[in-house]
Structure 1
Amino acid sequence: MPEANPAHTPRTADAPVTVLSAKPVVLPAPGRGEDLRVRVSAPATGGDLPVLVFSHGFGWSMDGYAPLTDFWAAHGFVVVQPTHLDSRTLALPADDPRTPHIWRIRIEDLKRVLDGLDVLEAAVPGLAGRLDRDRVAVAGHSWGAQTASTLLGARVLGPDGVPGEDLSDARVKAGVLLALTGLGDDLTPFAAEHFPFMRPSFDTMTTPALIVAGDSDRSPLSTRGPDWFTDPYTHSPGSKTLLTLFGAEHSLGGIPGYEVAETTDESPERVALLQRLTTAYLRDALHLDDTGWKAAATELEEAPHPLGELRSK
């Protein structure tokens, strides 16, 4: 009997492998003002690899969020991290004419990544022919979560309260939305004036998603408390799961990076939980593993001192 081809052996969630990364990989972006620079990280071995496109929070770049992105790549995902125009590494002036439109350009960045998978695949030595283009997911944190949510079906309400253009993408089969802001009706006057794009409608966000909220995440942009971050779960249809993390603030224990100044609630245990649960969820949602998610959820539920709780619909 012939030996199994290791290039097509699916990865399990408990078997980390060596990761190869390439950066910056440049995707031409006419009209953007800056070509799109991304980082591509992939397992050194294995085939039929699912693709996970990650959108960073305000000011970050392709170099952020290593606690999650490195973990996902080591557990079988090709992780692509674009650097959006709001990144501190680009130092875009506040009066740049693109600034009011960055929220929309961010969405275009994610779609440009999906359009450019051939280029990205060729950028990492040995990656050619190993992507599974039928298994694509998006993820994001904070503003990045809002960006990712539009590809899942969320829309931005216009001044008249009418949902704007449908920017969903049929190539995307699942999402992980970390600290995604809630409904625009609860913005502070300052936020409503300066961030008009923060008026989402989740009524058409039908693609399956894991939504993660911290029960101590109090945003200066909202007149409500931490429950504001559960709106994407409450107001969206379809298959959704809400993970509420106990004691978590906006950085959810430190996902932007290790020992970074923006982490106000550092918790290696909370980050480790997110690593396990997000990986298990994505593997389940993309039909790669039908046992890991149930096991991870049961482990959380039966823990003597659980770090959070799950709800699904």
Structure 2
Amino acid sequence: MSTSPATDALGTPVPVLSFSPVVLDVPGRPVDLEVRVSAPVTGTGLPVILLSHGHGPSNNLSSLNGYAPLANFWAAHGFVVVQPTHLTSRTLTDLVADAPGAPDFWRSRAEDMTHVLDRLEVIENAVPQLAGRIDPTKVALAGHSLGGFTAALLLGAGLTDPATGNLVHLFEPRIKAGVLLAPPGRGGKVFNGPMAEHWPVIGAVDFSTMTAPALVVTGDKDDPRHFTDMGPDWHADPYTLAPGPKALLTLFDAEHGLGGIAGYDAAETTDENPERVAALARLTAAYLRAQLHPGDNAWQTTHEALTTGPNPVGRLESK
């Protein structure tokens, strides 16, 4: 069977081991921090992707049990994927409803990733067959929807705390690059939808300090009218309003689920498209590989194969 240039650039996938939960006791957190780890069965010096889930309607996809279409692909192509269950997860609603920071837990979500990095060796040693195979200097971050908001903070975006008015920065220098998948955009006058008053923290972000390299992925049919009447371009704000180096991938005909990245055959996906998800998995893997391994040509080859030609999956811009 022939392979495409995009396939060749990433190499042959290998089997994946997935282990969960790895349980971390975090002082002051109302429940333990649980993570899932997915890794290739072969290879050493493996880079890490931290994956921050969104806040969707399902009970379990917004947890360490979600995003298998991306996590499995990334792991099969040489990454160790670490997925925490944030306090916003529906699986924890009854346990944390009255905890400080509820209901958005914006600070806790970002701190979860710092706790993971602080104890990366503990996590590595807890997973069978993984000890000694991670390169802790090669760390990337991906997040979908609210997870994209979390990623923006860790990549350098500032935030004016709605509760105190203080400017907060949660930049994590150990994270070298990120992928923001259908992230929220700006606040201000355009933050005028019916849900805006319930999530003021979303509109409190300042992308002008988000200096880390990032790929922002949006769908040209992703209508965020519950937050703004700005239209799908609102989701591109982490690209538009942040300094370079950044890339913006706009997927054609994609809605907020970007084809179904939150889970296999999820009924809530409004734009189910396995081909789009497969292309997105390849593009994000190639982008992060290039960021963590300078000189790797996978990104150039992959985006040329999938965003140019007669049937492109989307449009790519960069700055």
Work out whether the TM-score is over 0.5. yes
Number of residue-to-residue matches in the alignment: 303
CA gap 1:299/1:244 in 2 versus in 1, 3 angstroms: same
Instruction: Give the TM-score normalised by the residue count of structure 2.
Output: 0.90
CA deviations on 1:182-241 (whole Å, 9 max, x unpaired) are 101222254332112112110010000000000100112212100111111011002100
CA shift in 2, pair 1:12/1:78, >3 Å: farther
Secondary structure of the residue that 1:273 maps to in structure 2? helix
Whether the 8 Å CA contact 1:21–1:39 is kept in 2: the answer is: yes
The superposition leaves residues 220-274 of structure 1 with CA deviations (integer Å, 9 ceiling, x where unpaired) of: 2212100111111011002100000011000000000111122000011110110
Q: Secondary structure at the match of 1:177?
A: strand
Q: Relative to structure 1, is the Cα distance of residues 309 and 267 closer, same or farther in structure 2, using a 3 angstrom cutoff?
A: same
Kept after mapping to 1: 8 A contact 2:74/2:81 = yes
Give yes or no for contact 2:257–2:270 (8 Å, CA) kept in 1.
yes
Task: Decide which moves more: 161-170 or 108-117.
Answer: 161-170
After TM superposition, the runs of 4+ consecutive aligned structure 1 residues lying more than 6 A away are 160-163
Q: Residue 7 of structure 1 corresponds to which residue in structure 2?
A: none
Give the CA deviation at 1:100. 4.2
Which residues in structure 2 correspond to 1:253-264 (within 5 Å)? Answer: 253-264=259-270
Q: Does 1:203 align with 2:208?
A: yes
- Partner of 1:229 in structure 2? 235
Q: How does 1:43-54 map to 2 (within 5 A)?
A: 43-54=40-51
The alignment status of 1:300 with 2:300, answered yes or no, reads: no
Q: TM-score, normalised by structure 1?
A: 0.92
Once the two structures are TM-superposed, the CA of residue 32 in structure 1 deviates from its matched residue by: 1.0
Label 1:90 to 1:259 Cα distance change in 2 as closer, same or farther (>3 A).
same
Please tell me the root mean square deviation across aligned C-alpha atoms, in Å. 2.0
Deviations along 1:120-169, one digit per CA (max 9) or x if unpaired, are 10111121111111100010000011111111001213459977221101
Partner of 2:180: 177
CA distance in 2: counterparts of 1:152 and 1:110, whole angstroms? 12
Secondary structure of the residue aligned to 1:299 is helix
1:12-31 alignment to 2 at 5 Å? 13-31=10-28
Partner of 1:105: 108
Counterparts of 1:56-95 in structure 2, within 5 Å, are: 56-59=53-56, 60-92=62-94, 95=97
The answer on whether the counterparts of 2:9 and 2:302 sit within 8 Å (CA) in structure 1 is no
User: Matches of 1:262 and 1:111 in 2, distance apart?
Assistant: 31
Gaps of 5+ in 2: 1-7, 57-61
Contact 2:30–2:99 under 8 Å retained in 1: no
- Measure, in 2, the Cα distance between the counterparts of 1:35 and 1:97: 13
Shift of 1:300: 2.3
Are 1:129 and 2:129 an aligned pair?
Answer: no
Deviates more, 1:275-284 or 1:93-102: 93-102
Contact 1:300 1:309 in 2 (8 A): no
2:219 maps to which of 214, 234, 254: 214
Alpha-carbon contact 2:259-2:273 (below 8 Å) kept: yes
Gaps of 5+ in 1: 1-10
**Mapped pair 1:116 → 2:119:** yes
Describe the SS at the equivalent of 2:270. coil
What displacement does 1:30 show?
Answer: 1.3
